[in-house]
Structure 1
Amino acid sequence: MGASEPVRPNGRQLVIGIYQNPPKISVAADGMPSGIFGDLLQHIAQQQNWQIKPVSCDWAYCLELLRSGDIDLLPDVAYSPERALSMRFHQTPVLHSWSTLYSLPGQPVAELADLAGRKIAVLQHSSQHLYLQHYNGQQQLPLTLLPVQSLQAAFNLVAAGQADAAVANHLFGDLRAAEFQLKASPIRFDPVALYFAVAPDRNLELLTVIDQQLQQWQADPQSFYFQTVSRWSQPGTKVVNFSLLKLWSALSALLLILAGAAMYWFWRRSRGQLQQMQLELARLTTILNSVDAHIYIKDRRSRYQYVNHKVAALFGRPAEQIIGHTDSLFFDAKTVSQLQLNDQRVLTAGERVVAEEINTMADGSQVHTYLSVKLPLRYANGEIYALCGISTDITEHKQNQAAIHQLAFYDALTSLPNRRLLLERLEQAFSLAGRISCQGAVLFIDLDHFKDLNDTLGHAVGDELLSQVAGRLSEQLRKSDTLARFGGDEFVVLLPELQPRADLAGQRVELLAMKLMDMLTLPFKLAERSYSISASIGIAMFSDAGNVDELLQRADLAMYDAKNRGRNQYCFYDSTLQAKVLARASMLEGLRLALSEQRFCLHYQMQYHSNGQVLGAEVLLRWTDPELGAVSPEDFIPLAEECGLILPIGAWVLQQSCQQLASWQTDPLKASWHLAVNLSVRQLHDPSFVALVTDTLQQTGANPANLVLELTETQLLQDIEAVIGKMQQLRALGVRFSLDDFGTGYSSLSYLKRLPLHQLKIDGSFVRDLLDDPSDEAIIRTILALGSSLELHVIAEGVETTAQYLALKQLGCQQFQGYLLGRPVPVAALSSAPQIPA
């Protein structure tokens, strides 16, 4: 091997990343790289005996694959100092390029400052993207960048009006702009050199080979390199659009006419010129056979007089076996009928016809869609003697359109209409109902306890259930009805054009709701087992709402009302539901304001020992709203739990309680008093709860032994091991725990003995009926015995009468709390004087 010959890693396989950026790089029909970079690489690979394995990817993913080493070589990469840190380039650039802004006519962009407030589509992670981000940051220009995965996607956004302009290299833009009816701006920026790139520590020998080959090519103006660049830079390499196709059809027909005339003229002129004429005809035939379209001529009786190679390949016959025959030999009857209609418009009326034609072969084996351009061929006197047609196969394009439509308007799992399509149909149905005075309805269907199925059997089984539910629901509906998957386990049924009378329409809707519920309760076959489920259905009639948004909202409210009533039932929308929702929203807003402005206050209810000693008090949260007045904790605490405000509210209560404990520590009479603070479910399961209590005690200086945290049995049902762990951490600090409402939940004795409890609290419901119900007396006696055996203090709450107090004391209870001993009051009204009955 001579010193000037390139290094040859013979026979190796190269994994090449290819993204769509014609004419520089693209994926050919056989999956191999095409375009300028693609052709150059294949030529080098053939010389070096490299085996190319193409990997198709969008630009951002190609970069990721290169950096991870999953591909060996990436064509068409613009050099930048930043990229040089994560990849390597050869020395000799393949091409130089610059970028241009493309926009629709009527939206001119003369300079970058014109982009203020505009939306710009740009290839994600491209050099143009980085440039505009940097420019935007430096100039403080208020423009919005819309990152896309391909330059074609960028042009699509501008053509669809979803972006004001798109940034593309001039090679791609000049090639494709006209297809999208875009115009290039005079702005030129981001000039770059383009290379092949490899990962930093791999395949560096490939760059050496490429460099040597590029240097040889670029030194010779007649080399393969310049031929390739010239070929791909020609306008003929552009993607044919329908307008160009129409122009080509006219030109082709003209060429055919001229060819016929030329043949006759040369024959008359001289037999000696016959060879020249045949040469011209051969050239014309070569041109027509090289066009990626089906070109043909039919006489006035629709018999083929000329076909190019594409037509012959379609029919599977040589041209001589097609000439003289009509379409009835090749296509089915329906196709022939449609073709004849279009042909007669050309041959009889002299029209120029542009139409989509769906053609089915005679044996039914193939169905293709063509964009056909047909125009008449005339004699000099204007008489039509034939038609010329050019038909381009757009089957794949139509299939892609159908696939895009399916993705945009249908749910991928169930193939039902999705939310977008439902809203479109609902708008149409709602508008029609107003014009023709008919009723309609929406049924909002939510599967009960669907989350339990996902958690126990897995999401794959859950998806199978949703598919089967969709099938069952569809079977019960009319063709005019719409069943849509609204999201998750929610389905919506649209029933348009019902009876004008609301009562009669409501009866029909109710019957359907009953049928759907009964059908859904039948067992489903899932994962080789039988599974039963129910559904809650909310119904809203068109007359219940003024617009589509209100209608869906009210059907949703009715569905939640059905769930609140026990599930597995249907409910019609009721105006009282809306009142409840508005009241809830008003209370929620008031809660947020009360938290930010500290409108809450604390009351304290004293707790006593039977010997008259004050033990401490329970902290009770109170809220008085300027508009709502005094709001019961039974109303606002569950709402705070649901919306998450209970965490900051609980932190405030804990802070205030610990500050109060700290202030009592300086008073000899109150230094030993404890404060019992109720915990919410969310607080107890919050990951930062232990840290919150620890920090609050340290900040306030409160004695941890005087802080009693009250939790209920229901709070122990979820993640008991984590709860025990948190309790043990706080117990180690000295904090004590009381189990509130004991006896009303489902505590397991095995867990109870593991909990670091200090106290059990007898629920007030047992105390209330203690004197009348022997069962309550037995329960209290059991709780007291359990507390004694576990060495836990037991306190009875809800003590309201002297008789209750004496009965509890006789049973052995020694700690008490209730209205008899003192109502909840502000801290200033607390008394250290005993209030125990004699």
Structure 2
Amino acid sequence: MKYCAAMLVMLLCCTQVLAESRVVVVGVYPNAPKVFAAEDGSPTGILGELLLTIAEQEQWRVKAVQCDWAYCMQLLQAGEIDLLPDVAYTPQRSLQMDFHQTPSLTSWSQFYTAPGVQVQAMTDLADKRVVIMHDSVQQHYLQRVINQAGLNTELLAAKSLAEAFAMVAAGSADVVAANHYFGAAHFSQFHLRQSPLMFEPVQLFYATKAGRNRDLLDSIESYLGRWQSNVDSPYYQILQRWGSAAPETLIPKNVWWMLAMLSALLMLALSGAWWLKRQVAEKTRHLKASENRLNTILNSVDAHIYIKNSRLRYEYINRKAADLFGCEPEQAVGRRDDAFFDAATCANLQQNDLKVLQQGVRLVEEENNRSLDGSQKHTYLSVKLPLRDEAGNIYALCGISTDITEHKQQQQEIHQLAFYDALTGLANRRMLLDRLQHAVALRERQTDLAQGALLFIDLDHFKDLNDTLGHAMGDQLLKQVAQRLQNHLRKVDTLARLGGDEFVVLLTDLHPDQDVASQKAGLIATKVVQLLAEPFMLQDRNYTLSASVGVVLFADGCNSYELLQRADLAMYDAKGHGRNGMRFFNQQMQADISARAELAAGLRQAILNNELLLHFQPQLEREKGIVGAEVLLRWQHPEQGMISPARFIPVAESTGQILQIGHWVLEQSCLQLAEWARFPDTTHWYLAVNISARQLHSTNFVADVTRALQQSGAAPDKLVLELTESQLLQDVDTVIAKMQQLTNLGVRFSLDDFGTGYSSLSYLKLLPLQQLKIDHSFVRDLLTDPNDKAIVKTIMALGQSLELAVIAEGVESEAQYRKLLQLGCKQFQGYFFGKPQPLESFVLSAKVQSSI
């Protein structure tokens, strides 16, 4: 016995030590008299004092965190506080929070108005400004009422009730909605009027993050359950201290006569009880029989029928649903969807269920449900209805879900037969024409879209294969051809088999420029010819064939059938020119492609013969004059004269020659920087060099720039590399890494044509940039188009906030220059200051022009 007593003492001591070590972090937001922070930061008010009283009993150490309501909610959901008082229960919050059972307080909401404003009914809120606390139950309730009634009411959100009352007092709002505890204590302080209209009674609880601190809620529940049944308990003492009514402990004299009357009626009630008992038993028997009949009907229906309450827990399932869940119907009661389905299914079901429970809509939706272990997936057609009580409030939903998995599979098989080739699995003629008609119609409506094209492919001498090896081998070859083409075409393109040995490729999104689009289509067609010329494996031996390809670009006024016919004619033209090749339907396009090929060949000679030249266009700062120049490439053709970069740069990009050209420009620019550094009046000049997309994404880009700087001796900070937004769309992380390496050397980067691309501004802060370049298209109409003015101002502000220099290009007049100065721009480039010139002319004019 002594040993047991000693163990008991030790256990009590350990328990006390553990209790003393428990720290409870509590969120406190200003909502007197329910809860707020005392001068020493501790929680006070009704719920604060109640929590401290419980904490004293449990030997908790309460640590208060002061926050506004919205931030307190964020801290609770993030698990950074353990407990949050004064939280109204809602089905949505129950998904993220846990609550105890006994409410700590019961509250309702009331309107408080500015002097002269009357609110007697909800319709009086029309054309008024109503302020509520952000993310409160009042906000969600009033938003629903306003939407359903179609009221022209402006809802304003405040961080706290004190701020909300102050807004009405200051005239920023007409009405404030608040809980009656806070309103009754503060409305006279703000000189507001109390409206008789009350709404949204709620029960208030202490809340924790879901799945955490369950022991705190159990302890609070224990005290609330005992104290609320005892009028002498600390619970009612706290209420009285804060001015809330507590139940009277004595019976008033004026009700004694009522007790006497009740005593007299007691005998009459007892005499009728036995009769009522018999009636209840009879009614119960009839109800039980009706329930059995209803269950028989519901269990016989070939559908899953269920009822969920407002907390999304099952209250009833029929036998069909029970078989799906793998349990008895009563075992599913009280459980949620996460007990039977995977996370993605639960999220989708919850979204649909909340539409029914919150909006009161009848929902008909296809739902794809996967079992908890992921082994089974079914498609259901679900009909969900809100269930309402006598007052019209929604308390649950009823769902009827029919399994349509087999029906969907049959639909898929029918679709496969209708739109796909049975032999190769490719799109058939019907699907091709459908997609082609859609692409043509879209192109006619939006002429600025990228060009499209058709490739008509016919296998050369395919009949010989069928005649010699048989149709089975012919089918095998067609499958291999289809697979090879499919592996090498883009995902956005459509590959179809028209029949026999004829295939068609629908190319979309080539390029808005017709010349570039035709070049891309020609390259793809050439690639197709090369692919099909590679050997195939038939009967364990190589079989070689060739293909003829006809190409046609979309043309104005040309429908899908005409395009298909033109592609077919172009294919026959390819066969007439010796097969194993491609031809364009439009002979002029063929001539243009030939000219491009000739231009590419000439460009190769231009590199070898030093026909490429560098021109320089000055870049200026307002107070410093010329500070550098942009390097621009020119081609002095021995026969055609000066060729514009607009003609030969796209060719160089498509053929890959741009890498060699770009490297040459970079080397020459670095040599020029080193030369300028020798003279005092030019040593501060920098050069801006345009970098092509191929250069930027080349694996040797950083090494090439580093080598050019080292070999020339140029200062890295005098080299500015200009990139465009479109170059940053591909492999952004790798591009940033390359830029960072060069930035570490001292090289600067400028973002050219800023505002015309599609890159996300979220990437802008990640890029190691030093300069933004306003595109000339915004400068051109700056004096006449207010939109361009707004864009320029925005770019200037963005550059200032990100600490980036901003330079405007395309400045062609003094008026444009003056306007840009007015908008805060300090760096300029354009014809107004100087056109691109050869080196000698540039240096001469720059020395003459010493300032802007």
What TM-score does the superposition give when structure 2 sets the normalisation length?
0.36
What TM-score does the superposition give when structure 1 sets the normalisation length?
0.36
